[in-house]
């Protein structure tokens, strides 16, 4: 069997994560082929709609989504449409496009968690610079994040009075969260509603992303794992990385849920092969 791994790193054969997945698929007798969604074609010229996937003469039984390249709203919509249409044509998608849409947008993730009673930092989302400045003037400490982003890129502590810069990370939308002070946070990897691995991340400053040099240590704290599993169930997602933080009073908050999570740092301290767990769960859906 051959399956596509949709990735934004085709030139490097999926990068480290792609290599891990390809090896895990190969161990189960499956050939993984790296494909960019931007190279797929939606063909509506015949009676039966078709998606042309590079290197595939017919539709695969399953497709693994590892990355969606950034672009304009029209480009991203088209790439998500490819995944939606494939699902409509009975191709199993891992993770599902709707789950990716719910989690790639931090505002929607925060809303769904808040609505279900999962504690998240207080959050404000607006396009109005005036409204953003009003929130900043009323709060003691805030963090501003890009609505779409990962690995701590563009995340800043608001330590100065307005005006805020309107740069590429803001991109016309102000996503503001109350600052939760802590010397570390946690990443929990959830697959099929089970927490398979977790770590404590400790950075030099207030950000604790592995991509920014945070140190990792495996943990097995039941309350943190359970909170992450609850978050994954609320978002209806096959696998995800859940970021959790504990404040100075011992309260736990979910910071983010990542539907296309990296796990290189976590793999360094985990006792299991994360890629193999992902592949086995993916194939079990057939």
* Whether the predicted pLDDT of 284 surpasses 90: yes
Which of 282, 261, 275 has the alpha carbon at shortest distance from 19?
Answer: 275
Q: Please check the confidence at residue 264 and state whether its pLDDT lies above 90.
A: yes
Lowest mean pLDDT among 47-56, 100-109, 119-128, 139-148: 139-148
CA–CA dist 31, 125 (Å, integer): 43
pLDDT at position 162 is 60
Domains in the chain, CATH or no CATH each: 2-94 (3.40.50.20), 104-119+182-279 (3.30.470.20), 123-178 (3.30.1490)
Whole-angstrom distance, CA of residue 88 vs CA of residue 92: 9
Q: What pLDDT score does 177 carry?
A: 93
What pLDDT sits at residue 150? 57
The per-residue pLDDT for range 38-67, each reduced to its tens digit, is 999 999 998 888 999 999 999 999 999 999
- Looking at the chain, the whole-number percentage of residues with pLDDT higher than 90 is 68
Edge-first strand listing for the sheet containing 194-202: 215-218, 194-202, 185-191, 239-246, 252-258
* 8 vs 122: CA distance, rounded Å: 32
- Tokens at residue 236, please? 């209806």
Mean pLDDT of the residues in the chain: 90
Q: Measure the CA–CA gap between 55 and 100, rounded to whole angstroms.
A: 24
> CB-side exposure of 170: number of CA atoms within 13 Å?
18
CA distance linking residue 43 with residue 107, whole number of Å: 33
What are the φ/ψ torsions at residue 135 (nearest 5 degrees)?
A: -65, -45
Distance CA 49, CA 121 (A): 44
Q: 253 has which bridge partners?
A: 245
Encoded tokens for 71: 């672009």
Let me know if 208 is exposed, middle or buried by CB neighbors in 10 A (0-12, 13-18, 19+).
buried
Q: Quick one: pLDDT band at residue 159, thresholds 50, 70, 90?
A: low
C-alpha distance from residue 15 to each of 19, 106, 262 (Å): 6, 25, 11
Tens of pLDDT, residue by residue over 210-247, are 776 778 999 999 999 999 999 999 999 999 999 999 99
Phi and psi, residue 107, nearest 5° = -65, -45
169: pLDDT strictly greater than 70 = no
Better-scored residue on pLDDT, 37 or 171: 37
The neighbour count for residue 60, using CB atoms within 10 Å, is: 17
Strands of the chain, DSSP E:
2-6, 31-35, 41-43, 50-52, 62-65, 92-94, 123-126, 142-145, 156-158, 174-178, 185-191, 194-202, 215-218, 239-246, 252-258
Task: Look up residue 161 and give its DSSP letter.
Answer: P
């Amino acid at each position: 069997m051959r399956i596509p791994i949709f990735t934004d790193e085709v030139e490097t054969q999926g990068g480290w994560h792609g290599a891990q997945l390809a090896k895990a698929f190969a161990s189960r007798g499956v050939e993984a082929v790296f494909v960019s969604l931007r190279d797929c074609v939606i063909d509506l010229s015949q009676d039966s709609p078709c998606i042309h996937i590079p290197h595939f003469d017919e539709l695969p039984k399953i497709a693994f989504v590892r990355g969606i390249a950034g672009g304009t709203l029209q480009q991203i919509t088209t790439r998500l449409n490819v995944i939606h249409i494939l699902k409509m044509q009975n191709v199993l998608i891992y993770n599902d496009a709707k789950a990716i849409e719910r989690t790639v947008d931090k505002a929607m993730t925060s809303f769904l968690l808040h609505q279900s009673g999962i504690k998240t930092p207080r959050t404000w989302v607006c396009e109005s610079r005036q409204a953003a400045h009003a929130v900043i003037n009323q709060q003691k400490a805030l963090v501003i994040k890009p609505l779409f982003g990962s690995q701590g890129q563009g995340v800043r502590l608001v330590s100065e009075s307005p005006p805020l810069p309107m740069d590429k990370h803001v991109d016309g939308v102000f996503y503001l969260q109350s600052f939760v002070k802590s010397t570390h946070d946690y990443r929990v990897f959830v697959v099929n509603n089970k927490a398979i691995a977790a770590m404590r991340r400790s950075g030099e400053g207030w950000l604790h992303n592995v991509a920014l040099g945070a140190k990792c240590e495996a943990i097995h704290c039941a309350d943190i794992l359970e909170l992450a599993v609850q978050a994954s169930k609320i978002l209806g997602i096959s696998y995800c990385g859940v970021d959790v933080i504990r404040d100075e009073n011992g309260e736990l908050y979910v910071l983010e849920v990542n539907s296309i999570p990296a796990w290189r740092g976590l793999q360094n301290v985990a006792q299991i092969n994360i890629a193999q767990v992902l592949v086995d769960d993916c194939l079990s859906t057939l």
